[in-house]
Amino acid sequence: MQGQGRVAYLANGHSLDVWRHPEFRSLLIRAIAWSSGAELPAHPIRCGLLGYGPAFNMGRGHAGWINATPGLQTVAMCDAQPARVEAAKEELPGLAGYFTDLDQMLAMNDLDLVVNILPHNLHAPMTLRCLEAGKHVVLEKPFCIGVDEADAMIAKACEKGLMLSLFHNRRWDGDYLTIRDVVSRGLIGEVFHIECGQGGYGHPGFWWRSDKAISGGVMHDWGAHFIDWILNLAGGKITQVMGDFQKRMWHSVTNEDHGQVVIRFDNGVVADYWTSTISALGRPKWLILGTKGAIQANWGDEITLVSYASGVRHEGKVPVKLPSYGSTQYYRNVADHLLMGEQLLVTAEQARRVILVIDAAQRSSALGTSVSLADGYE
């Protein structure tokens, strides 16, 4: 052998299936980059948490997922409540900065990325400040309250050449991945109807999530996950949205009690989702009909599959893919994108579509008619 250089040898690319597999492709791209001398940056991507709330300990969760991802590191946190800063000092000792004001955290030179974990009405304004300060942003769901906010954030990220990604961690949930797998194998034929929902009967509680001015409304919470799932499963362009919001019982809070959206796609798929605090009986989490079968799933560790794909009826249970490491897989992709230029899996444009649907559903409900979405709303 002569000269100096790096050789990467991959021996398993012998069938088309392998070449089409996203993980093999990314391995190949990494091998090419490494053999041609690409080096990783000297330091990890330094992340600051904006919001360290007590409701679900999401700040602590994000710090754990970030620190479990080689190439990323939590270096700072900020929460307006001093008590939450004290909690972070105990739970995340040794950070370079603990702040009660975003401007102080943004003034840190050695901060690359902010994770925005704030109530929904603060998603857009605080993200815009982070982008303006030159920081990449990971934003918790939902992207924002209105489409105009989504457009402003996307424009700012483009102008500054920064990453803006949404924390759609539930794309890695076991039941959703299992459903996608069953659908992509053709076991229920062509999907034409998707029905899903969640909720129950009871006062939603006195917290910011029930305050429409802060939360955006009843569909901005779980709806962000369900609508993202629907858009990924349905595939086509959205053509029409019908929404229905009901306010009948819980007048001590401003969120709607019940919200429904029916989405039509240009490939003929119709999806119907509702979220409710006044549904005394529920519907299954998922009911998906295809030309050769159907899937039903209800939060358990298996899904019911009926398939006529082989010509005869088969009914069985498919175990849900476990364990699910969605949040760390999400951050793995963020690191791969920022450090190695790999494709970002959850883009701001995808997240905008979710807000577009909720916005159209609210308009439709107010108008009492379906709303058509013009070309461009893919």
Ligand X SMILES: NC(=O)c1ccc[n+]([C@@H]2O[C@H](COP(=O)([O-])OP(=O)(O)OC[C@H]3O[C@@H](n4cnc5c(N)ncnc54)[C@H](O)[C@@H]3O)[C@@H](O)[C@H]2O)c1
Instruction: Tell me if residue 52 falls in helix, strand or coil.
Output: coil
Residue closer to ligand X (CB basis): 209 or 258: 209
Cβ distance to ligand X smaller for residue 75 or 122: 122
CA distance 113 to 73: 10
CA dist 378 and 372 (Å) reads 13
Using the minimum distance from each CB to ligand X, give the nearer residue, 117 or 183.
117
Instruction: Kindly give, in sequence order, each residue whose CB lies less than 8 Å from that of residue 192, ignoring residues fewer than 6 positions away.
Output: 268, 269, 270, 289, 290, 291
Nearest distance, CB of residue 326 and ligand X, angstroms: 9
The least distance separating ligand X from the CB of residue 358, rounded to whole angstroms, comes to 13
The SS3 of residue 245 is strand
Instruction: Give the residue with the Cβ less far from ligand X, 144 or 262.
Output: 144
| Shortest separation between residue 216's beta carbon and ligand X, angstroms | 10
**Got the DSSP string for 301-343?**
SEEEEEE-TTSS-EEEEEEPP----HHHHHHHHHHHHHHH-PP
| CB atoms closer than 10 angstroms to residue 110 | 10
Q: Note the residues at the interface with ligand X (CB under 6 A).
A: 51-56, 58, 78-81, 84, 102, 117-120, 122, 140-141, 167, 169, 221
Shortest CB 142 distance to ligand X, Å = 7
- The kind and range of the H/E element at 180 are helix 174-184
Between residues 103 and 301, which has the closer beta carbon with respect to ligand X? Answer: 103
Which residue's CB comes closest to ligand X? 53
- In the complex, the smallest distance separating the C-beta of residue 127 from ligand X, rounded to whole angstroms, is 11
Nearest Cα residue to 302 out of 194, 175, 181, 184: 175
